[in-house]
Structures are given as structure tokens and as C-alpha cells.
Structure 1
Amino acid sequence: MSDTKNPGDKTLQVSSPKTLTLKRRGEQGTVRQSFSHGRTKQVVVEKVKRRSVGPGETAKDGGRDAGKDAPKEAARTAAPGPSATKPVSSRESAPPRQPARPGRGGGVVLRTLSESEIDARAAALADAKRREEEDRQRRADEERARIEAEARARAEAEAARKAEEEARQRQEAEAAESAQSAATPKADPSQAAPVAEKAAPAAPEAAEPAQASARPMRDMRKPPSLDDLAKPEPAPEKPAEKPTEAKAAESGKAATKDTARPAAKPSPARARATEEDDAPRGGRKGAAKVPAAPKTPKGADDRRKGRLTVTKALSGDDERTRSVASFRRRMQRLTGKGSSEPKEKIAREVIVPETITIQELANRMAERGVDVIRLLMKQGAMHKITDVIDADTAQLVAEEMGHTVKRVAESDVEEGLFDDADAPEVLRTRPPVVTIMGHVDHGKTSLLDAIRKTNVVSGEAGGITQHIGAYQVTSPSGGKVAFVDTPGHAAFTAMRARGAQVTDIVVLVVAADDGVMPQTIEAISHAKAAGVPLVVAINKIDKPEADPQRVRTELLQHDIQVESMGGDTLEFEVSAKTRDGLGELLEGLQLQAEILDLKANPDRPAEGTVIEAKLDRGRGPVATVLVQRGTLKTGDIVVAGAEWGRVRALISDTGDKIDEAGPSMPAEILGFNGTPEAGDRVAVVENEARAREVTEYRSRRKRDLMAARTGGTSRSLADMMRDLKEGAERKEFPLVIKGDVQGSVEAIAGALEKAGNDEVSARLVHAGVGGITESDVTLAEASDAIVIGFNVRAFKEARELAARNGTEIRYYNIIYDLVDDVKAAMSGMLAPTLRETRLGEAEILEVFNVSKVGKVAGCRVLDGNVQRGAHVRLIRDNVVIHEGKLSQLKRFKDDAREVVAGQECGMAFENYQDMRKGDVIECYTVEEVKRTL
């Protein structure tokens, strides 16, 4: 029967927690491992000290005081004796195993060792220590022999390299001589002897530095410790005049011959890197470089494979290679990043536009973006690198960083387009530009038709001019005059102002039978604002009720004094119907033009103003331009507002195609990429790139202005909430307007903006030139708008789409009909006005509580009458308590429709029962009155 749980187990087990152990103490050290590409790793190894157990020492004491008694035991066991000299076998040293005796705790009790067994064990330990010392000494001898062999190999390699170098130089010299001579002599075999003689004495000389760089001999009486073996050995010194590549090559050859191991051929880049790294720091570039040691053969890498052990760490046969820190220092020296010398600050001239991003500003200053952001944070502004800052902030940042700033504006792209002065010697006399202005239906267009001998009035809808036109007429004296015809309706204020800006002389047409009217006064204001002379033409003098003197008198109220009344303003009595006075009018215009001395330079790029613009389906965008300076030719690249194009054709006012248009000549231009706005200035540029640059700037500015007008992204949440609150109370009438010309659309939009009030207004979803398209109908459907066409029609596809979607399209050709209809529609959106009419008053005499009915007030009508269903107010102590309707009105037991003053009746209110004796009931009616704009 066994004491253990496993019958087959012969292991000695005890139940005591304190087992019989020998504590081993050791020393720790570090060993640096070397890998390829200059990588190293430092590991920790432990060297265990061995101990000897004395004869009188027990297992329990030995585990605690082994380190203290080790020297004493070693001295005692070193004495000669039979147990010290005789080898102890494993069987003799191990005592015979005896059966274990059971203890109290159910375990086993070990017997103690005898003195002879202790002596035998101490002798065995001493013998093992001696053998270990012999092994250590043998390894030291082998290491010393290896170092000497390597030194001899390096010396032989150096000698062989020198011999090969001398032979190579001699062969190169012979080859050069043979190339110069006509006949190539054969090589002399006797030259090999001097080479061998020169190579022989080189071996001892090369061996001297190798012997000097050998590892120092260790004391054989004291074995090398772990710390000594872990210390890196100094690299052997070599002659400075030999290149590193050659040494590495020769070392590899020698290693191949002597050690029979394959050598790794070092690359030139690796050799140069080692040579530069080993160079003394802080030295000059031209200083001598110390060559590096030969590279480790490939076979040496096999030793690093597998797990690091103490034997591998203490072998000491590896060579030092480049460390990571050394490689980093070399790269820092090459790139200059590691130098602590402060770089010189370079001050630059930074061009700063009106707005610039932080990233772009940093790039122009050649600074880091984080430095710019840090500087802005110091000033209390938090920004990202993609944020846009203004020119003032960018200037402060650039000057703070030591740079100079040159401010530029985006509008600089327009410099040189307009208003550059011409030399007086190149100026030529040009025809005058005359604008005809006045009130509607005073005969402006009829007068111009009589001068031009045309019939423009017959083509105008409603008998009024709704477009601005430009014409050129030849006067009886032979000179030419450019006329600009403006509408007289109140909605065309912008057209009249535009005509006054481009004119030289304003002709104010006043009907003799009508006198001065509102648009006449407006025309006078436009002429004064433009600073141009005024000529008065009193029209319709052929009518019986004509009174020219009345016109002269009324003009005095507006500071216009004609010549017949002692003033300086020219006046002419004309009749467009009988053509009376037209010749005198033209002569007077020529006289006024001679006084003004109008001149322009025709030999320069053209400049002008867009009088009118429209979109023709067959010809595309068409702009009527009045040339003011220079000569406009076919093929010129022109810019007008945010649009540009190449002039494809020039059409005169008579419809003829012309090749060029000089100063004061109106012409239609075909070739724009879009419809320009009326009033835009036109200029000829040198190339398309300049045209795109100018138009892109103008388009961007136009978008910014539109965003600013509509609120843009700078509006706060409070602003949007306020607008929503106001919008809930304000109604809008959405419209999509398409017109034939830009001026008409502009006039319609201006008239509709003035038609609204605080409660309702017209909102222009879209306004453009040209026919009504499918996109216009789709936009109107999305915004619940009405499409209005002025002198245009919808395309077939747009009409079909509008019919399917139920979108309303209205057509107009007279502007005041359009404005009146829109006003009427907007008036229907206005809330009606409530008008209150008082009927009478009654006093409550008693209040009765009737079942299934509620409270009923017995009243007497004081004045007026009381009607059933009328509005009532319950007044108590002169305070209105309730407002509602009268639900029941009875006279005795019968329902009454009306009760007059002095009679008594019963009243009941809708949803109200709190009535008291003495309250007064006021009866009235409410009437709704429709409002109009």
C-alpha cells in the first residue's frame, strides 16, 4: 500500500509547506544584440553563482546562508583528502532511499544526511567548480587565438589589396601608352616579379595596425566577468588613406579564403554612409574621413537566429555594427535638421487681397499654418486653417510675423477698361447724342418718327412707347445726330435715368394742350442730375386748344426759363403731325452741339453702354449698344457687365449689317454668351482670358450683393425667427415674369415692388428675358406662382406642361394692364375691413333660471332696437364683461325678430350664463368691407 495517491509515482512528497530547496543567487548583466541595417537590441542575462554546502550545514541553513559560507566551504573542500581527489559518481553521491515514515500530519519525514554524505557532496561540488574554471580558461584561449587569426587575415588582405591596386594602376598606365602608340607592345612577364616584391613587405606594415587594434589580453588567472564580455569592443583602427570600399572588398576576399565563409559585398551607398558617420563631428567637409570596419559576412547572421541564450551572449564572436542613434545623427547632419543654429528670418512681400484663407496666407508668407492660427488665438479669434479672413486681419498677422504687405483689391481686374484719358491731338469731332424725354402721350415717338420719316408708333401696343430705342438721323445741314427715345410711363423711370446718363443733350417734349405733368417733372430732375443742357420742344401746336404760353409759365415753377422769357434754355414750337418746326429743332441741336464741342478718339478700342438687351430665339442674346469712344468692329472681344462674347455681327438701327460702329453710333451686337443687363458698360478687351477674369469677378460680386440683399449666411437665429413671425402675418404673391427686353422686365419688377404694402407684397421668384420655357413652368409650380409673359409667348412644351400641372399663364403687352391686374389679385389677399354699426341698448331687470334652457335675462330696451342674431356686449359698471351673439330673443312667449325701444323682452346669450341684474346689453352689427391697394 502506498502513501501517495498515485501508486506508480516514486516521487518523494512531503506535506510540509517548507520544502527542501537551495536558493540560488546570481548577477545580472546586459548584452547588446546586433542585427542587419544597423539595428541593435539590448537584453538582460543572468549569471548564477554556484555554492558549496559544508559538512555541518543543513538543508534549511544552506538555503538561507549559502552566500555567506560559500568562501569558507570552498577553502575547506580544497584540502587534499580521499573524498576530494576521488571522483564521486552519481550513485555513490546519492544516499540510498529509505522508506518514509508517516508523521503526525499524514506526510513523510526525511532522514538527515550523515557527515560522510555531506563530505562527498561537497567534494563533488568542488570538482564541478574546477572543471568549470578549466572550461572558462579554455574558451579564453580560443578567443585569443581567434582574435590573432583575424588580425593576420586582415593584414594579409591589406597586403593583397595593395598588390592588386598597384597592378591595376600599372595596367591602366600601359593601356594609355599603348593607345597612344601605333603598335601595341606585348606585356612583359618579367613585370610580375616587382609586383610580388612590392607586395611582400606590405604584409608586416599592414599587420601592425591590426595588432594594435586587437582586443587586449585578459588575465588568465581571473576569468572575464559577464560585464566585461557585454562591453562593446573598440573598432580596430585602420589607415586613413585607404578607401572604405576597397578595404571591405579585400576583407571579404580574405575571409573567403581563410575561413571558407561567403562574404557579403557591401554596396557603395552603405560604404559611404559608414564613412560619413565615422567622420569626426564638427569637422570640415574636406577633412580626412576614417574608414569603417569591414562588413560582417552573411554567414554571421545565422548566429542571431533563434532564441538568445547565455552561451550565445557570452560567445563574443560578433562584430559591432551601426546603431540607430548613429544613423539618425548622420541623417541630421546631412539634412541640417539637427543643427541648433537659428535660421535667418526671410522677410517677404505678401500680396493680400480683400479676402484670403489662412492656408493661402501662410503659403504666401512661407510660414506654418499652425503659427498663423496660434497668433490669431492670441488675439482672441478662433479659426480653422480653411477659414477666410479679411484684408485688415491678414495684414496684422503678416506684419506681426515680420513681413511687408501689399494690399490689392479684386476690383483691380477692371483697371484700364474705362476712363483712360486720350491725348488732345487724337480727338475728333463726334455727333451729339440727344435723348427725348417727357410725359406719356405727349408725342415723343411721333416727333421722332417725323424726324426719321418712319412710323414706329404704329408698332407700339396701346399707342405708348414701352421700349427704349436708339437711332441715328442726318440733319438738313448734313450733320448726324443720335437720338435715344425713352418711354413716358411712370414705370420706366430706370429707362429715363439710363437715357439721361448716356446723352449729351436732353429734349424735353411737352404737349401744348396738356402742360407740365408728373413725368415731365421727373425728366427735368434726370436732366439736372446728369448735368446736361436742356432743350424744350412744345409739341401739338396744331391743336385748337394748344396754349404754348401756359407751358412756358408752368416751366418757371421748376427753374426752367426759356429764351423767349429772358432765359438761356432753347425752346421750339413743333408739330409732329404737320412737321412744323422740325428743321429749326435740328438746327438748334447742331448749334448746341457746336457749343459743347463734343470730341472722341475713334482710333482706339471701343467703349459704350448697353441701351437695351433682349433674347432672340433665332439670334441669341442681342444687345443694343451706344458707342461712346473708339470704334467697335466685327470680331472684337467685348465685356458687358457679367457677360462677355465675341462680336459676330453688327446691325444698324435701320436693320443693315455693318462692319464697324464709330463714336455716337448705336448698333446691335450679336455674340454674347448671355443676356447683359441694360445700363451695363461695354468695353473691348485684348483676349478671352482677360474677359473671363473680369466677368468672373463681376458675377461673384453680383452673387454677394444678392446674398446680402436676401440675408445671406450671416443672419442670426433671432433674425430668422423674427422674419418667420413677420412672414406669418405678411402674405406674398409669387410671380414668374418673362419679358421681351431687359428694360421692360426691370420696369415691371420695379412697378410691382411699389404695389405692395405691409400686409401683402409681390415676390418675384424669377424674372428673365425671352419666351416662357418648361423650366419657368416647373419653377412656378414648385412655388405656387403665376407665370406672366410681357410681349412674349410660351413654347409648346411649356404650354402642355402648364396644362397638365394647372399652372396659370397670363400674357400682357401693355404694362399698366399688367400692373393693375396684379394689384387686383393682391387686393383679394388683403383681410377685409370690419365696420361696426350700433343698433341699440337694453338693461337687465331680472335674471330667470329656466330648466333645459339656462339663464334668461328679462330686459327693457332703452334706445334703438335689438335684433336676434346680432352681436352683443355685456357691460357691467362701464366695463365690458363679454362679447358674443344673441342666441334667443322673445317677446312674452313668442320668438321675436326685433324689439324696439320701450318694450320688454327676454334675451339669452350663446355659451354665456353669468348675467346679473342692472347689467347693460349693447347690440350692434359687423359689416366686412373689401380693401384695395
Structure 2
Amino acid sequence: MTDKTDKKPGARKPLSLSTSGKGSVRQSLSGGRSKAVVVEKKKKVIIRPGSGAAPKVKVAPKITVPAAKPKVDEVALAAKKLGLSKAEYEKRQAALSTAQAQADEREAKKAAEQAEREKRMAEEKAALEAKKKEEEAAELRRLEAEEEKRQKEEAEKLAARKPVGAAAALKKEEDTRSEIEKAGGRVKKKRAAPPPTRSKGETKRRRGKLTIVSALAGNDERQRSLASVKRAREREKQRQRGGSGDREKVQREVVIPEAITVSELSNRMAERARDVVKYLMQQGTMATMNDVLDADTAQLIVEDFGHTVKRVSESDVEENFIIDDTPSDEKDRKPRSPVIAVMGHVDHGKTSLLDALRTTDVASGEAGGITQHIGAYQLKLKSGEQITVLDTPGHAAFSEMRTRGAQAVDIVVLVVAADDGVMPQTIESIKYAQEAETPLIIAINKMDSYDANPQKVETDLLQHNVITESMSGDVQAIPVSAKEKTGLDDLAEAIANQAELMELKANPTRNADGLVIESKIEKGRGAVATLLVKRGTLERGQIVVAGEYWGKVKAMMDERNAQLKKAGPSTPVEVMGLDGAPAPGEPFAVVETEQRARELTEYRIRKRKENQSIAASGMANMEQMMAKLANKTSSEMTLLVKADVEGSAQAIKTSLEELGNDEVKARVVYSAAGGISESDVQLAASSNAPIIAFNVRANRQAKELAEKEGVEIRYYSIIYGLIDEIKGALEGMLEPERKETFIGYAEVLEVFDISKLGKVAGAKVTEGRVERGSGVRLLRDDVVIHEGELSTLKRFKDEVPKVQAGMECGMGFLNYHDLRKGDQIECFTVEMLDRKLD
């Protein structure tokens, strides 16, 4: 069967079917592709009612449909649109298909890995949960075993105890039953009582303390701890014994000072602080543990708590610390080395003399060739004897250091230059030695000088009650030369003879005490104090109190930085371990406990603050009074001082505050030993004060902060250069002195009224001279009615600078025209002079 339609050019070919009813068609796909598809066509069978059998299905003859060709090659068209050839287009499509396949493969691989990871995590989680359940089960079994063991032990204890009450009756009944059974009787058995009913899932009892395992088990109810069970059991035992369960009250003797905090009072009573606070609230006083109570209130509290009271004064803490000067038994006292101080005027050769004695060169290490602080060390003489030497500064600023040196030593070696003689600091050293009742040895140095005159030195010393042996006195005078190293043996022998006469002894077995010679703050070492042990033996590990600071001795070194384990009498040592740098001259001593050390230092700090507050309030009142009287305020230069050692800082502070007068003065807001830190810069910035650095430097952070805040840091290494510069700055703050010089008189002969100048006086110079621009006073009947400036001075019609006596001139005043005939004019000049501080 064929299609009878006429064939036209370009028309689609007819569908052809084969005899089997199958055919093929061309199917278009994406990308310009196509394929042949086999199709089968079936004829619809219609069955009408009434027909006996199904009609035969006629099979349509097979129609063969030729493959349809596209009118236009789609692949070539797509390639043309992209500007590519067909081969390139197909190659690109193949590459895209490959890339897509690779991407699909990667996605599939990633999904597989994710699934594997989730599976592994699920397995690990399941393993952890299983392990957790096993631990919980083990903990539960352990607790049950402990509880069963405890119950078994209690049952054994109860069985061993003698039954009383209901238990005794039950025991008696059981004994009666056993006797009846033995006699052949019959006893009616009682039915056992049913066990108590419990809800499903309820535990027998609350057992075990709250642990991590039980908390993680998800049980919302907290179980009773074992400690709670033990406490309840103990209370039950006490109740059975008939006890009250309360411990017996311990009565204590409580020491009460003038002021005490609530927490400290509770500690001394061994009571809880909250009980003391609760008691105060019941009495109507709201207080906390840190509040301070007076002695009367504290006494009432102690008595109400059932303790006894011992009232002491707070100053007893300091009085108990006073070093016991009671001499030890003669059998305990051993000979000790003498302690000498080398004193004298600046640049008289004190340090050079000691250099010659110990063959070292300390003077070259001192800035400016002068000693800036006390050096303490030991010398071993050629004779084998050992002496302890304190080299004190000679500059006037270090008078306090010389005072401490004279108080701490046994012998004072006064060095006097043979060419200079007795100088101010020499006199000052003599005075300190005499006040301390310390023997003197005069070392007349610089005997190698051309102008050396030792006889004049000894004669000058007579004016200060120092009589040498050559003058029929008892003071040894030894001529020496530190430069030529002559007379050194004689000086050493004089020191040894004086020490032998004094019979210096000390007890080395008692607790150590002595004086602080010097202190400083070193980076990496903390507070380092130079201590001079006068009596006893200082050992490493002992607790030392020095001034407002205390600490345990961590390390001890001598002048050669050798480590020491102990230091006996007359030994200077550097000690590390204090919590601060104590002031030089403070006494130090060894105490037994840290509590004792804290009490003492806290008391000293409180007293210092109280004294400072009282002095500050008094100064404020005095300043207010002076301001009211003088109607002006004094200029003040605020300074912040940092030095290498505490003694230098104190000396600089004292010297600077002594400068000035009623108009200008220097005030040191803070002085300490150690390098310049950021906190020092911040304090200086808040106080508007420059920082005076003596032999110290600022760290990098402090320098940056000082530049940012505009704080000036001035560095010094010589004490007199520092003092001179600050003195010059104070002199610059002084108001200049007004000096008035009289130059002449003039008498007004006539007054002329000039339109442009006003009133002008026709005057005659009667004495001296008058100058244009000079100061003038107008006198009328010998009374000053005006003081001003001479603005006009003419001779005839010419302006002249000055007019001598006997000449007539015209004079006009600046901004003043009340002139009369017969007035006197006084002329003078004013000069402003710079003032100096005394």
C-alpha cells in the first residue's frame, strides 16, 4: 500500500511501511545530530455486538519510510555562528562532553567520600557512647558494691551490739520460740510482712556523690553525697550517746591594737568573718570585712564572743622592734674588724688614698673624679689585719651620707689636703664625728704638692677642737701621699692601734642587726641593698626588716660579687630579696616570722602617710596665710628625680629643695632609685615637671612616651653640675631688680598751651641733667602728684636728647598736662637687674 499523493520537488518523502507493519523515521537530536528510529503501526480492531467470533485482524502491509534528510546541516550552521569550522566545532563539543563527564565523576567521588566520612563519624560516636555506657555501668556497680559492703558492716556492728528496746523484745521472742521447738512443741509461724512497695524505676536510696559520670547520665535528681551520709551517721551516733553534737567553745586571748579590721579580728578570735559581720548588723552597724574598727568596738565584740581581751598600743609594734643594746655575755663576744669611714672635703683625695691602700683604681670610675655614693668594702692590710671601709662623698650635697657614715663606723679617717687646708666639708665632717663621738685619725694628703703645709693644717684644726699629738693632743695625724704612695704603712698602723685601744668585739651568735648603707633597683635583680652587719650573723633565708620594706634574703654578695652564705659582724654585703629599696641610714634587723615583718612595715607605712598628710595640710594653711599677707603667690618649679642609688636620690632632693627663697623654690614631687619607666613619665606629665636623671637612663617605651607627652628628660652624671643648672633656672624665674638712678632737677618757669602738644613747661635745669625718655616725677609743694615719662624735650625749636644744668628748655609729659608755674621736676633712669640666689 503506497501513498498516492503526487511527488513535488522538496517535499518530505512518504512514510513507507513493510508488510510486518514496521517502519523507520529520522529523529533529530541536540547538537545537529540525528538517528533512525524503527516504528510499528497497528490497525485499530473494532468488535461489533452480534458477531460470533472476533474478526480477523488484517495486518497492514509494511510501509518503508525513507530517512528524512535535514534541509540544513545544523552542525555546520552552529559552527558558522561561532565562526568555527565544522571539525573545530565538533572537537570543541567533544572536549566539553569530556569535561562534563569528568566533573560528574568528581562530584560522584566527593559524594562517596562524604558518605564514607559520615559513616566513620557515626561509628566513632557509637563507640564513644558504648564506652560511656560501660563507664557508667562500672561506676554504678562500684557504688552498689560500696553500699552493700557498708550495709553489711552496719549489720555486723548492730548484731554485735547488745539489743535494747524493741530489738530486745524481738530477740526474746526468738529465744522463746527456739526453746519451745526444742521441747517438741509447735509454734505458729507468722506470715512475713510484704516488702514495701516502690514505684517502677525508683531506686532504693539516694547513694553516691555527684560525679561527672552521674551528671552525664541524664538523671535530673541530684543524689546524696557520701560526705552527707557520713555527717548524718556521725550526728546519729552522737545522739545515741546522748551528746549535743556541738564542740566545746575554746576561749582565746585576743590582742587588740588601736585599730583593726573585721577580717583580722575574726582571724585572731578564730571565728568566721561572716559571724562577726552578722553580729555588727544585729547591733545596728553595717560593716564589711575590710572595715576598720576602733579598739573599744573590737573589745565589745571579743567579749560577746566569749574571749578575753588584751589591749595594746599600735606603737608597741615599733617599740618591740627596737634593737636590744644590752651587751652579750663576755664569753659570747668575739673580736671583730674595725669599720672606718673616710671623710673630708671634695677633691682632697679620699678615694685615691683608698685606691693606694687596696691597689685598685676606683676614682677613675667615678664621674668627674668625685665619689657619688658610699662605697662599702673590706681591705686586707699588709699586716694581715682586715678592716671595713666606707668611702663617703665630700660634696656639700651629700651631707646626709656623711652623717650616716659617721654613725655607722668605729673610726673616722679625716682626709685633709696639705695645700688646701681645712675647708667647709672638712669642718662639717669634724662636726658629724664629734656628735657621734667617733675617734678621729687625720690623714694629711697631697704631701707631694709644692704648696704642702701640714703645720698649717694642724693649726687650723685647733679652731675646731681637734688637737693632734704634735700639739699635745690625742688625735693621730699622719702625713701621706696617695699619688706617691708614701705614709700608707703609718696610716694602716694608726688604724690598727686605734682599733686595738677600742677593743672591738661582737656576739656572732645572736640575730643580725645593723644599718642600710645604700640601696638601689637593678633590672633583673630587683631591690639590692648594701647592709653593714654590726652584730650577729646574717644568713641566707632569714627574714629581714629594713625601714618600710622586708623580705627573705635570697642571695648575699661581697664587694667582689662572690656569693656568701653568711655574713658576720663588721661585714658589708649586698642583699637581694627585699620588696623595695630602703632609705640609706635605716636600721635593719632579723625577725622570726613573716607576720611580724608585715605588722612592722605596715605600721611604719601608716605613720609615714599620717605625717605626710598632717604636713601637707599645715603647708596648705601656711601658704594660704602667706598669700593673704603678701597678696601674691611664690613661683615653684616641680621636678621628678631618678638616681642610680637611693642615697644619691635623697641627696639630690635635699639639695634642690634647699635652693630658692620666698619668691621661687624647687619642689621634688617624687624621687627614687632605678631607671626611668613609663609610670615616671606619666607622673611627670601630670605634674608638669621635667625628669632629672642622675646616672640612669630611660627605656625605649619611656622615651617614646616622653616625646609624645612633651616631658623633658635631663641627664646628669656630676652632682654639682645638676645643682648649678637647676639654680640657674630658679634665678631665671626671679623678678628682675628695679634700680633707680637720680639724674637731675628742673623748675617750671612758665606753662605754654600748644594746640598739638597740649601744655608744655618752660623750665630751667637746676641740678644734673634731664634726658628725653627718662622717668619724671612732678613735685608740688614737695609732694609727688605725678610719675611718668618725659615725652618732649626742646631747646628753642629743636628736639634735643638731653639738657645740662643751667640751661632752659621746654618739657612735655606723656599723657599728663596739669602743670603749674613753680612745680619741681625730678628726672631719673630705671635699670632692671638680674637677681641671684644666695
Same fold (TM over 0.5): yes
* TM-aligned CA deviation for residue 768 of structure 1: 1.4
Aligned counterpart, 1:694 = 600
1:639 aligns to 2:545 (yes or no) = yes
Contact 1:467 1:744 in 2 (8 A): yes
Q: Give the structure-2-normalised TM-score.
A: 0.64
**Which of the residues 459, 465, 486 maps onto 2:392?**
486
Q: CA–CA distance in 2 between the matches of 1:812 and 1:173?
A: 99
* TM-aligned CA deviation for residue 405 of structure 1: 8.5
* TM-aligned CA deviation for residue 452 of structure 1: 1.1
1:799 aligns to 2:703 (yes or no) = yes
* TM-aligned CA deviation for residue 737 of structure 1: 1.2
Counterpart residue identity of residue 771, structure 1: G
1:878 aligns to 2:806 (yes or no) = no
* TM-aligned CA deviation for residue 904 of structure 1: 2.8
* TM-aligned CA deviation for residue 882 of structure 1: 0.8
* TM-aligned CA deviation for residue 440 of structure 1: 1.4
Aligned counterpart, 2:183 = none
Q: CA–CA distance in 2 between the matches of 1:359 and 1:720?
A: 42
Aligned counterpart, 2:792 = 888
Over the matched positions of the two proteins, sequence identity in percent amounts to 51
SS state at 2:464 partner:
coil
* Cα distance per residue 1:161-215 (max 9 Å; x no partner): xxxxxxxxx9999657426646498999xxxxxxxxxxxxxxxxxxxxxxxxxxx
Contact 1:555 1:561 in 2 (8 A): yes
* TM-aligned CA deviation for residue 852 of structure 1: 4.8
Contact 1:417 1:685 in 2 (8 A): no
SS state at 2:372 partner:
coil
SS state at 1:655 partner:
coil
* TM-aligned CA deviation for residue 583 of structure 1: 1.9
Counterpart residue identity of residue 419, structure 1: D
* TM-aligned CA deviation for residue 406 of structure 1: 4.3
Unaligned runs of 5+ in 1: 1-169, 189-347, 374-385
CA pair 460-171 structure 1, distance change in 2 beyond 3 A: closer
**Which of the residues 587, 591, 599 maps onto 2:497?**
591
Q: CA–CA distance in 2 between the matches of 1:694 and 1:390?
A: 19
SS state at 1:557 partner:
helix
* TM-aligned CA deviation for residue 426 of structure 1: 1.5
Q: CA–CA distance in 2 between the matches of 1:356 and 1:696?
A: 12
Aligned counterpart, 2:712 = 808
* TM-aligned CA deviation for residue 420 of structure 1: 5.2
Q: CA–CA distance in 1 between the matches of 2:460 and 2:632?
A: 48
* TM-aligned CA deviation for residue 507 of structure 1: 1.1
Aligned counterpart, 2:510 = 604
* Cα distance per residue 1:526-582 (max 9 Å; x no partner): 111111211122222233332222222221221111222221122222222232222
SS state at 1:781 partner:
helix
Counterpart residue identity of residue 818, structure 2: D
CA pair 358-926 structure 1, distance change in 2 beyond 3 A: farther
**Which of the residues 622, 643, 649 maps onto 1:745?**
649
**1:814-829 residue pairs with structure 2 within 5 A?**
814-829=718-733
Counterpart residue identity of residue 313, structure 2: V
1:625 aligns to 2:531 (yes or no) = yes
Aligned counterpart, 1:418 = 323
Q: CA–CA distance in 1 between the matches of 2:419 and 2:677?
A: 46
Aligned counterpart, 1:472 = 378
1:856 aligns to 2:760 (yes or no) = yes
CA pair 815-413 structure 1, distance change in 2 beyond 3 A: closer
**1:608-687 residue pairs with structure 2 within 5 A?**
608-687=514-593
Give the length in aligned residue pairs. 589
Contact 1:349 1:406 in 2 (8 A): no
**Which of the residues 352, 355, 369 maps onto 1:446?**
352
Q: CA–CA distance in 2 between the matches of 1:698 and 1:913?
A: 72
Q: CA–CA distance in 2 between the matches of 1:686 and 1:660?
A: 17
* Cα distance per residue 1:247-277 (max 9 Å; x no partner): xxxxxxxxxxxxxxxxxxxxxxxxxxxxxxx
Answer with 718-727 or 652-661: which moved more.
Answer: 718-727
Contact 1:607 1:682 in 2 (8 A): yes
**RMSD between superposed Cα atoms in Å:** 3.8
Aligned counterpart, 2:433 = 527
Q: CA–CA distance in 2 between the matches of 1:708 and 1:830?
A: 30
* TM-aligned CA deviation for residue 616 of structure 1: 1.3
1:923 aligns to 2:827 (yes or no) = yes
Counterpart residue identity of residue 178, structure 1: E
* Cα distance per residue 1:841-896 (max 9 Å; x no partner): 12222333333543332222222222222111011111111111122233334433
**1:898-909 residue pairs with structure 2 within 5 A?**
898-909=802-813
* TM-aligned CA deviation for residue 499 of structure 1: 0.5
Q: CA–CA distance in 2 between the matches of 1:665 and 1:752?
A: 34
* Cα distance per residue 1:795-850 (max 9 Å; x no partner): 22222232333332211111111111111111111111111122221222233333
Q: CA–CA distance in 1 between the matches of 2:263 and 2:713?
A: 51
Counterpart residue identity of residue 831, structure 1: E
* TM-aligned CA deviation for residue 423 of structure 1: 3.0
CA pair 183-765 structure 1, distance change in 2 beyond 3 A: same
**Which of the residues 913, 916, 919 maps onto 2:817?**
913
Aligned counterpart, 1:234 = none
* TM-aligned CA deviation for residue 625 of structure 1: 0.8
**Which of the residues 485, 496, 503 maps onto 1:579?**
485
* Cα distance per residue 1:381-423 (max 9 Å; x no partner): xxxxx999899xx99xx9xxxx998452334255146225333
CA pair 413-824 structure 1, distance change in 2 beyond 3 A: closer
Q: CA–CA distance in 1 between the matches of 2:820 and 2:599?
A: 84
**Which of the residues 340, 360, 372 maps onto 1:434?**
340
Contact 1:417 1:683 in 2 (8 A): no
Unaligned runs of 5+ in 2: 1-164, 181-185, 189-251, 270-275, 285-290
Contact 1:475 1:587 in 2 (8 A): no
Contact 1:625 1:668 in 2 (8 A): yes
Counterpart residue identity of residue 460, structure 1: E
CA pair 906-429 structure 1, distance change in 2 beyond 3 A: same
CA pair 387-485 structure 1, distance change in 2 beyond 3 A: closer
Q: CA–CA distance in 2 between the matches of 1:407 and 1:888?
A: 85
Q: CA–CA distance in 2 between the matches of 1:171 and 1:758?
A: 101
CA pair 349-907 structure 1, distance change in 2 beyond 3 A: farther
Q: CA–CA distance in 2 between the matches of 1:387 and 1:631?
A: 39
